[in-house]
Amino acid sequence: MAAAESYPDGLLYHPEHDWALIEGDEAVLGITWFAQDALGEIVHYEAPDVGAAIGMGEAYGEVESVKAVSDLISPLSGVVLEVNEKATGEPETINEEPYGAGWLIRVRLTDPTEIARLLSPETYRAHVAAE
Amino acid sequence: MLGDLRRTPLYDSHVALGARIVPFAGWEMPVQYVGVIPEHRAVRADAGAFDVSHMGEFEVEGPRAKELLQSLLSNDLDRIAPGQAQYTLLTNEQGGIVDDLIVYQLEEHRFLLVVNAGNRAADFAWIKEREIRGSDVRDVSDDFALIAVQGPRANERLGLPAAPAFTHAVGKVDGIEVLVCRTGYTGEDGCELLVLAADAPRLWDAILGRGVVPCGLGARDTLRLELCYPLHGNDISAETDAISAGLGWTCALDKEFTGVAALRAVKAAGPARRLAAFVMEEKAIPRHGMAILEGGEVTSGTHSPSLEVGVGLGYVPAALAAPGSHITVDVRGRQARARVVKKPIYSTKESTDGGS
């Protein structure tokens, strides 16, 4: 069952439709409701390796639906600490709970100053409304 | 950009159902209502309805209508009679496939051709240029809508009796007159209903009222690909021939039609490449245009909702076309192993019975 459209407070957003939950010097990353809705039913999540270095605005993996494939764009730079095995094993979780059980990776931030460049929920909601 | 696109008589119905509308072959068409996977499964388990009104319909009539079609189409119309239909190819001089289509023999001297939406204008021009005295070819596409109702319970849901595949008859669904064609593109039992454009929204509502699930072009594509039915423009084209595509069974090489000499030559020599069906052996989804490293390319690929694995069709060197061969697909720079399988990739009761 697909989730209802939402862009929760407490998260920060990247214009390529990714979110970040900042927890000290770590962050949990995922894709927004808008991104999963545009893709449709996700059937494959190609995750990065634990230990991989990822850069803000760069691709770190892929999600693929029946019809299309999309790069995952990292909202922040960091080193991958953990991959969500539930999302790789049951990729439909990303559609069902894009901000919860469908998170994608946890990273250790390598440049926390980048956080200031992310979008607030209000700004991201306006960005989505303009798409 | 959407301004130049055409809409079927059911466009408003699709919007009211919350469909996601995409441009396809010059038309604004529903790609999905709820999701590709549940729509696909509805067709495999029960019944689904597809608006395929974008497809073209030509009527070919006259005492020499059959003679004209015999000279242009690859299959042999002597194999069918009024009330029957046939899958066939419109071929060029090189044996290439201008289009694939179904011809319905309505009467002894009257035929209906249902062609691909994207080829409608080119097909009509092709046939019209070759018209002979005693044959009249008319594009009647705008007069009709076409709704495919497919699935093991399709006929039961519509209140229609069972009938052999590739037959057709005038019938009624909830009082609306239709031509019930026992054809389809999913490998399941069911029919395609040809209806006057003005009656189409009422017919669509009646079909859905009988518990048939509305399905978009997304599910149509995954369903046809599991059955290895080719998509013109992807798997077959004016540059590919029927023998290499595995469609030799649609070519009556003992009769004369456009390109038959070229096709006989391909058959005699054996094709260099063949269109093979394959299943991925690792987690990866093949897509149209990806290279097959042994020589060839993927022409169609998707995630199979029935088998829950990546599947595809692609041209491979003839030596690798046998089931069991291994090929390698370049999935965005990653080498992914696949296994050639016997067609169809997924068998339905209908397809194993030799139905549509």
B36 contacts A41? CB cut-off 8 A = yes
B200 contacts B145 by C-beta, under 8 angstroms: yes
pLDDT at position A39? 94
**Residues of A in Cβ contact (< 8 Å) with B302:** 66-67
The dihedral over CA atoms of B156, B162, B164, B169, expressed in degrees to the nearest 10, equals -90
Contacts of B238 (CB under 8 A, 6+ apart): B92, B96, B97, B98
- Supply the pLDDT for residue B227: 98
Nearest to A18 by CA among A92, A111, A117, A130: A117
Q: How far is B288 from chain A (nearest CA, A)?
A: 11
- What digits encode the pLDDT tens for the residues A28-48? 999 999 999 999 999 999 999
Closest to B39 measured CA to CA, from B223, B301, B228: B223
Picking from B32, B298, B303 by the largest number of A CB atoms within 10 A of its own CB, the best residue to mutate is B303
Q: Which chain B residues touch A43 with a CB distance below 8 Å?
A: 37, 285, 303, 308
Question: Is the pLDDT confidence value at A23 over 80?
Answer: yes
The reported pLDDT for the residue numbered A3 is 82
Q: Is residue B207 pLDDT above 90, yes or no?
A: yes
Structure tokens at B225: 């690909």
Of B31, B35, B285, Cβ closest to residue A44:
B285
Whether the Cβ atoms of residue B95 and residue B266 lie closer than 8 Å to each other? yes
Distance from CA of A8 to the nearest CA of B (A): 24
Q: Would you say residue B228 has pLDDT above 80? A: yes
Which of A41, A62, A69 is the best residue to mutate to test the B interface, defined by the most B CB atoms within 10 Å of its own CB? A41
- Quickly state the pLDDT bin for B354 (edges 50, 70, 90): very low
Q: Chain A residue closest to B304 (CA)?
A: A66
Q: Do A40 and B285 make contact, defined as CB atoms within 8 angstroms? A: no
Report, as an integer, the average pLDDT of B223-236: 98
CB count, 10 Å around CB of B217? Answer: 23
Q: Do the chains contact at B36 and A40, CB–CB below 8 Å?
A: yes
- Phi, psi angles (nearest 5°) of residue B167: -125, 170
* pLDDT of B211 above 80: yes
Q: Print burial letters for B88-101: b (CB count within 10 Å at least 16), e (below 16).
A: bbbbeeebbbbbbb
**Cβ neighbours of residue B175 closer than 8 Å, sequence gap 6 or more:** none
% of chain A with per-residue pLDDT over 90 = 94
Note whether A64 contacts B303, CB cutoff 8 Å: yes
Residue range B30-52, pLDDT digits in tens: 999 999 999 999 999 999 999 99
The distance of A28 to chain B (nearest Cα, Å) reads 25
Structurally, at CATH architecture level, domain A34-129 sits in Beta Barrel (2.40)
pLDDT of res. A131: 82
- Chain A closest-CA separation from residue B2 CA (Å): 16
B199-208, B259-268, B345-354: least confidently modelled range: B345-354
Interface of A with B (CB under 8 A): 2, 40-41, 43-44, 46, 62, 64-67, 69
Largest distance between two CA atoms of chain A: 37
With a CB cutoff of 8 Å and minimum separation 6, the contacts of A65 are A39, A40, A41, A42, A43, B36, B303
| Closest by Cβ to B35, choosing from A41, A46, A64 | A41
* Residue A27, CA distances (Å) to A12, B152, B275 in order: 10, 49, 47
Nearest Cβ partner of B283 from A2, A44, A67?
A44
With CB atoms and an 8 Å threshold, state whether B302 touches A66: yes
Dist. CA B163–CA B167, nearest whole Å: 7
In the structure, what pLDDT confidence band is assigned to residue A1 with cuts at 50, 70 and 90?
A: low
Q: Report the residue from B37, B283, B332 with minimal CB separation from A66.
A: B37
Residues of chain B contacting A, Cβ within 8 Å: 31-32, 35-37, 218, 222, 283-285, 287, 302-303, 305, 308, 332
- In the prediction, which pLDDT does B3 show? 61
Does the distance separating the beta carbons of A43 and B303 come in below 8 Å? Answer: yes
Closest CA to B213 of B16, B69, B38: B38
Give per-residue pLDDT as tens, B319-344: 999 999 999 999 999 999 999 999 99
Buried b (16+ CB within 10 A) or exposed e, A73-88: bbbbbbebeebbeebb
Six-digit token string for B274: 């063949």
What are the chain B neighbours of A34 within 8 Å (beta carbons)?
none
Average pLDDT of chain B? Answer: 96
Interface test with B, best of A67, A71, A90 (most B CBs within 10 A): A67
CB A74 within 8 A of CB A57: yes
**Interface test mutation site (partner A, options B37, B224, B298, B311, max chain A beta carbons within 10 A):** B37
B356 pLDDT band, cuts 50/70/90, is very low
- List all residues 6 or more positions away from B44 whose beta carbon is below 8 Å from its beta carbon: B151, B152, B188, B223, B306, B348
Helices (H) and strands (E) in chain A, counts: 4, 9
Taking an 8 Å cut-off on Cβ atoms, the answer to whether B36 and A69 are in contact is no
Q: How large a percentage of chain B has pLDDT more than 90?
A: 96
pLDDT in tens, B89-140: 999 999 999 999 999 999 999 999 999 999 999 999 999 999 999 999 999 9
Phi and psi based region of residue B342 (left: phi greater than 0; alpha: psi -120 to 50; beta: remaining): beta
Closest CA to B299 of B351, B225, B218, B219: B225
Q: Write down the pLDDT at residue B355.
A: 42
Chain B contact set for A62 (CB, 8 A): 332
Domain boundaries, chain A: 34-129
What is this structure's pTM?
A: 0.93
Sorted by where each starts, the structural domains of chain B and their CATH numbers stand as 2-55+143-225 (3.30.1360.120), 272-345 (2.40.30.110)
Token reading at B20: 């996601």
Give dist(CA B143, CA B323) in Å, integer.
Answer: 44
For residue B4, name the pLDDT band (cuts at 50, 70, 90). Answer: confident
Cβ(A70)–Cβ(A35) under 8 Å? Answer: yes
pLDDT at B350 over 80: no
Which residue is closest to B39 within chain A, CA to CA? A41
